[in-house]
Structure 1
Amino acid sequence: MRYAVRTSLRSTGLVVLLGVVMTMLDTTIVNVALGTLAAEFHTSLADVQWAATSYLLAMSMTVPVTGWAVGRFGVRAVWLVSLVLFIAGSALCAAAWSLGSLAVFRAVQGLGGGLLQPVGQVMLAQAAGKERLGRAMSLISVPAMLVPVLGPPLGGLIVQGPGWRWLFLVNVPVCAVALLAALLLLPRGSGSLHAHDEEPANGAGRGIGAGQRLDVLGLALLSPGLVALIYGLTEVGNGASLLHPASWIGAALVAVFAVRSLRVTSLVDLRLFRDRTFAAAVLALACYSAAMLGFTVLVPLHSQLAEGGGALEAGLLLAPLGIGAALTMPLAGRLTDSRGPRGVAAAGVVLVVASIVAFLLTGGGYVPMFTLGLGHGLVATSVMAAAYTTLEPSAVPAATTLSTIVLRLAAPFGVALLTVLLQVFTRAGAAEPFTPAFWAAAGLAGVSLLPIALIGSGTWRRSSSAPA
């Protein structure tokens, strides 16, 4: 039985890695080609930015339907359809004849990519079971950390070599292999939610989507709300006013959805927050992700504006972070499975905060970035695993949908918060305007220790000792 579980996790992990690696890469690989695309389509750099923005917004739009789609059709079917969408979008992007067509085709890519990441997480959690969640989360965390860092250098090589269309064509053979692997390795009907699945005692997470109609009104509120809110926060981070109308419209739509979902069975099951460990893990991830994403945006700016470095030097400064995280993520997975997530996550946060402070006090450098990566690898894997430990299998798709939505909002919020601080102190004529923003990043990361302390350990010990 243990061998069968291990084999299932390995095969599922292979399928997920093949599927998500290109979607993660596409979040950054196109950024280096924006100037080339502006020249190709005879437009401005501001206009061509929509080639990147449309992909990210489309990814956010599809996340709310993940739980319903998995419950209704099963993860295998949703995974295959998402791959086909991503491959089709990639091929169409390579054939784009105008900026408008490229933005539309990038949105098609994003529709597929937005489903692949949370559905892959669902598949890993279901294949691992509670006793191997740490190792399962490390499988997806390593490429999630490394691939975006490698994206800009790889994109530069492709643009200077075969040309910008190959930024998208390179996806086709990789995703075709992923599609073949999914057809061969994923059993038919995998991930479907059955009526006999055990329900949580508090009634939360009953597998929304299993035998239920799509909540059309909820979708009409939440998807546009997320897109507007993320877009507005992104614009604020780029220097727009805090009163950007998209932010407030998006926040209002999301708030209406939240109030409604507490009264009726809705697209996203907010009742999952009644589970203390799940709620604590998601809150910790939100605080921590906001700090880390904001910090990694400020680091290249600091290198270029404060130290006079070039674009390549600024990009390479993030490489030690990815290397350090890749080293500790597998270790974090094993420690989480054997000892529980709370101590691993707390140690990681302490190391991250110390590394940010060291970066601030020493004026930057590769060593603090490397130790930051070591801490990040401990936090990301352990807290992601903790989110699932007290949930029943039927609640996993709904939990993944909910946690993904929170994290998609946390990232632009963190970037907006820290860049606004940078702008405020720059306008005030501060000698070191980056300093308050870096301190804020350290403080926000440190706040995540509070919800981490609420993550239970007794339930983990019982589940991790269960036979595989």
Structure 2
Amino acid sequence: MSTQDTQQLTRNYRWMSSITVLLGTIALGFSATMVMVALPEMMVAFNVGQEVIQWLATGFQVTATTSILATGWLTGRFGLRRVYVFTLLLFVGVSLLGAMSWNAQVAIFARVMQGIAMGLVPAVALITIARVFPPQAVGMAMGVFGVGAVLAPAIGPAVGGVLLGPFGWSVIFLFPVLFCLPALLLAFKYVPEADPTIVHGRFDWLGMLLLTVFIFALLNITGLGLSKGWTTWQTLGCVALTLVSLVWLVFWQLRCKAPLVELSLFRNPRFWSVFLVAVPYGFCLYGTSYLIPYFLQSAAGYSPADSGAMQVPGGIILVLVIFSAGALCDKLSARTVTISGLFLFALASIGFTFTTAVTGFWVVAAWFTLSRVAMGMLIPSTTVAAIQSVPPALLPYASTTMNFFMQLGGAIGINVLAILYQSRLEGHAITNASTAAFEAFHECFWLAALLMVCALIPAVFIRKSPQIEPAPGPHASKIPSCP
């Protein structure tokens, strides 16, 4: 075989590897957002309220968040191919279980297990691309991968809305499986095996247990407080469990040799500024993404197809803005882009507070699209800001840790806004049933707008670490290497 044939074979292998991991990522992208348009139908099918059905989104978000932290150890211990194949098989199995769910609890369990795949597959995909492509070509590969990875969740609600009518709610579990099957077949050839040079340590099982207990206890406080009362033993017991697990988790992470979360980042006040932006941003992003399609179908009279179609323009704009926002972070600064994104998100949230029964389809779509413009600015800018806020020695941990807390904020946002909306809906229904849903919806978005305005305060203090700030003089562009 000639040198040219070998090079062509290598290029083909690299792009086939990218396609293989992209298919799995697309499947998880559809799974993440298609469920949003099916929630009202599933509430009727299972005869449950929103305090139960919201766990389809919240549980998925929680396990997606926590499983990210296990990616490094799993891929080091078992290799990329085994982790990818096993995770896709797990996803296919629980998706089939979810499609056959006979009650809400089974469907929630299936979604919780799907969330594990959501945390692992995209992370494995990025590691795979970084491994098979040379440094000078990885940027283009990541760009192509990014378009597919972002486009799937962007159009997921529209696809789900169209399929929901003829096939029913089970389609939200079955449709993503179509992308998993070719991904599994290709994975045995095009996903790299274990790297024998990687030395893996012990996994922090106690840290993962404490983190899981903390998150689930935290997410149950709002529901118990509003349903049982804030001073009942159930609510106070849940608060106590949250605090105990948090304190124990922090103590253990500070002592553990290979902690799940690198808490030394929080000794840096610059990182705190980004953290105080990322958590409320995640809260509002995921919380409102859950609430909008639910409200449109349950109260505003939208069909699932119309609810999904309303989100398409915003999804397309999101893809375009993400790539341009990354360049803006270099040209202007991550702080400027972050502040602009927060302002636009607050503006979009305020726009939703004026939604009434006669508000036109395109007005709602415009406010949603504006929120996606803000989202497209905040996704790269908060990541860049997190990386630039720490010295080079902490760069490997900054992005992962910030992404974890943003996702955790998202899980809290879905949980709180879903339960708050239901609580306020019941409260307003006593005085004026015809406008109760709109008033409850407005209050949730006033909360989102307030959080975005509050996040502007720490955003103003976002700064680069002095160790990566360009020094004056002819060598200003050089960045010191990791010691």
TM-score by length of 2: 0.70
Q: Which amino acid aligns with 1:27?
A: A
Pick aligned residue for 2:260 from 263, 267, 276: 267
CA contact (8 A) 1:131 1:463 kept: no
Q: In structure 2, what is the equivalent of residue 352 of structure 1?
A: 345
Q: In structure 1, what is the equivalent of residue 383 of structure 2?
A: 384
Pick aligned residue for 2:208 from 219, 239, 242: 219
Matches within 5 A, 1:101-250: 101-121=106-126, 146-189=151-194, 194=198, 210-232=199-221, 235=223, 244=235, 245-246=237-238, 248-250=240-242
Q: In structure 2, what is the equivalent of residue 372 of structure 1?
A: 371
Q: Which amino acid aligns with 1:290?
A: F
CA contact (8 A) 1:89 1:109 kept: yes
Q: In structure 2, what is the equivalent of residue 62 of structure 1?
A: 67
CA contact (8 A) 1:93 1:102 kept: yes
Matches within 5 A, 1:270-349: 270-274=263-267, 280-297=273-290, 299=292, 308-310=300-302, 312=304, 316-336=309-329, 341-349=334-342
CA contact (8 A) 2:25 2:121 kept: yes
Q: CA, structure 1 residues 168+284, in 2 after alignment: closer, same or farther (shift >3 Å)?
A: same
CA contact (8 A) 1:34 1:45 kept: no
Shift of 1:355: 4.1
Shift of 1:193: 7.5
- For residues 51-104 of structure 1, the C-alpha deviation after alignment (integer angstroms, 9 at most, x for no partner) is 666544443453442333234344444333322221232234345566655554
- For residues 302-344 of structure 1, the C-alpha deviation after alignment (integer angstroms, 9 at most, x for no partner) is 76799x5535555554444323212211222344467664444
Q: In structure 2, what is the equivalent of residue 255 of structure 1?
A: 247
Q: CA, structure 1 residues 181+236, in 2 after alignment: closer, same or farther (shift >3 Å)?
A: farther
Q: Which amino acid aligns with 2:338?
A: A
Q: Which amino acid aligns with 1:262?
A: L
Aligned residue pairs, count: 444
Query: Which SS does the other structure have where 1:188 is aligned?
Result: coil
Shift of 1:424: 7.0
Unpaired runs of 5+ residues, structure 1, are: 195-209
CA contact (8 A) 1:294 1:415 kept: yes
Matches within 5 A, 1:374-413: 374-388=373-387, 396=396, 399=398, 401-413=400-412
CA contact (8 A) 1:283 1:451 kept: no
CA contact (8 A) 2:218 2:239 kept: yes
CA contact (8 A) 1:90 1:172 kept: yes
Query: Which SS does the other structure have where 1:161 is aligned?
Result: helix
Shift of 1:427: 5.4
RMSD: 4.9
CA contact (8 A) 2:39 2:53 kept: yes
Q: Which amino acid aligns with 1:330?
A: F
Q: Report % sequence identity.
A: 25
Please say which structure displays the higher CA radius of gyration.
Answer: 2
Shift of 1:276: 6.5
Unpaired runs of 5+ residues, structure 2, are: 1-6, 357-362
Q: In structure 2, what is the equivalent of residue 197 of structure 1?
A: none
Q: Distance in 2 between matches of 1:373 and 1:391?
A: 31
